[in-house]
Amino acid sequence: MGREALQGVKRLVVKAGSNVVIHPDGTPALSRLFALMETLAAQRRAGREVLLVSSGAVGLGVQALGLKKKPGQLDLKQACAAVGQGRLMALYQEGFARLGVEAAQVLLTEEDFSNRRRYLNLRATLDRILALGAIPVINENDTVSTQELESEDPGRPWERPVFGDNDKLSALVASKMDADLLVILSDVEGLFTANPQVHPEARLVPEVPELTPEIEASASGVSSRGRGGMATKLAAARIATSAGAWVVVASGLRDGVLGRVLAGEAEGTLFHPGPRLRGRQRWIAFASAPAGRILVNPGAREALQRGKASLLSAGVTGFQGDFQRDDVVAICGEEGREFARGVAQMDREAAESLVGGAGKPRVVVHRDTLVLGEGS
């Protein structure tokens, strides 16, 4: 089964990148936006449930405030987001209203995903919006959230953001909402055999039955206006396909691209669904930021990677970060490279007291809440 499966999707998530929403001069790309809204509204009227993740708020704010370029200071970026988000949502509300569809603004922060209760509440809210026939228009709340606008601290890798770009945000939404299809529209035509900006002979890859480390290694570069690049799109594809969704990465600059994707025509790169993780496993693996790291010896790593084994205190060699019971933690080899995640059964202080001690080993991370990473 391939592209013909896309004709039967019931729940659809579409991500519109900054280069789709905004012209190079910073003005809104009205013709593309209204064409996109027409297609989405038609899908909504045809009975499909539609969620839209849209970038562009900061860029529109830069243009509205008369700035010459995207600012570097965090507070100025947030001010641009505050101005631009209102303009962006006004465009969507006016456009969808003319097409007989209501648009609902949904602004999300890191805590809406890393906090398990808020993560579950998000599903209920979006389900109700869809049941009312509206289209949620989703973006990160850049005015109050700094995770997407700031660079992560390389010295504290366990604190990297849950989503640092709207590619991953759209994948998390698709995963949480059990979407059938995620379409990522940007200024690239899809996945190529190499970076086409560096290698003109690179060819478009029409389908990816399975995401492999080799495929992920072929991605490089970032977009001209947005924060993401092909690497972030592959990371998003991994999240969404792990939830059982099809993923298409295609150029939103091409007229009628979304309609052709939904008709099952050859457009962009199609990623096939992979082995489906359970809902809580998906939250542990992708939607939560690790509160710390647990380093383990080779024997413990081998036992975990064989499957059906819990992490015992006897296999732990060290810790990084301050975590509490029920926090998600990264599990790493002694060299510090993460190969799994899980939910801590105790806080760091209690776990440290068990390492190297006598007596029966205790469970630090139970196998039922442990998810192995790719390549494990």
- Among the candidates 243, 264, 281, a domain finishes at 281
Q: Are 243 and 272 spatial neighbours (Cβ–Cβ below 8 Å)? A: no
- pLDDT-above-90 percentage for the chain: 68
245: left (phi over 0), alpha (psi -120 to 50) or beta: beta
* pLDDT at residue 76 tops 80: yes
At residue 220 the predicted structure's pLDDT band, cuts being 50, 70 and 90, is low
Both 173 and 314 in a single domain? no
Which pLDDT value is given to residue 116? 82
Tell the residue number behind the tokens 């390549």, with chain if given: 375
* pLDDT at residue 342 tops 80: yes
Which pLDDT value is given to residue 256? 95
Residue 112, CA distances (Å) to 139, 143, 150, 194 in order:
12, 15, 18, 35
Q: What is the CATH number of the domain that holds 349?
A: 2.30.130.10
What is the mean predicted confidence (pLDDT) over 175-202? 91
Token pair for residue 23? 């012209």
Both 160 and 256 in a single domain? yes
Q: Mean pLDDT score of the chain, rounded to an integer?
A: 89
Q: What is the CATH number of the domain that holds 270?
A: 3.40.1160.10
The 10s digit of each residue's pLDDT in 221-237 is: 444 444 457 888 999 99
What is the mean predicted confidence (pLDDT) over 39-55? 96
Both 111 and 243 in a single domain? yes
* pLDDT at residue 302 tops 50: yes
- Among the candidates 248, 281, 314, a domain finishes at 281
Lowest-confidence region among 204-208, 346-350, 356-360: 356-360
Tell the residue number behind the tokens 């009227």, with chain if given: 45
State how far the Cα of 354 lies from the Cα of 15, in Å rounded to an integer.
47
Both 49 and 157 in a single domain? yes
Lowest-confidence region among 27-31, 53-57, 165-169: 165-169
Both 362 and 248 in a single domain? no
State how far the Cα of 212 lies from the Cα of 208, in Å rounded to an integer.
9
What is the mean predicted confidence (pLDDT) over 108-120? 85
Lowest-confidence region among 2-6, 46-50, 102-106: 2-6
Structural domain that includes position 124: 3-281
Both 313 and 368 in a single domain? yes
Both 194 and 298 in a single domain? no
Which pLDDT value is given to residue 229? 77
| Element housing 348 (H / E) | helix 348-354
The 10s digit of each residue's pLDDT in 253-299 is: 999 999 999 999 999 999 999 888 888 889 888 888 899 999 999 99
State how far the Cα of 190 lies from the Cα of 125, in Å rounded to an integer.
32
Please count the structural domains in the chain: 2
Which pLDDT value is given to residue 155? 52
Which pLDDT value is given to residue 222? 45
Supply the pTM of this predicted model: 0.86
Which pLDDT value is given to residue 224? 45
Which pLDDT value is given to residue 109? 85
- For every residue of 66-134, DSSP letters joined together read T-SS---SHHHHHHHHHHHHHHHHHHHHHHHHHTT--EEEEEE-THHHHSHHHHHHHHHHHHHHHHTT-
Which pLDDT value is given to residue 285? 86
Residue 56, CA distances (Å) to 142, 255, 265 in order:
11, 19, 28
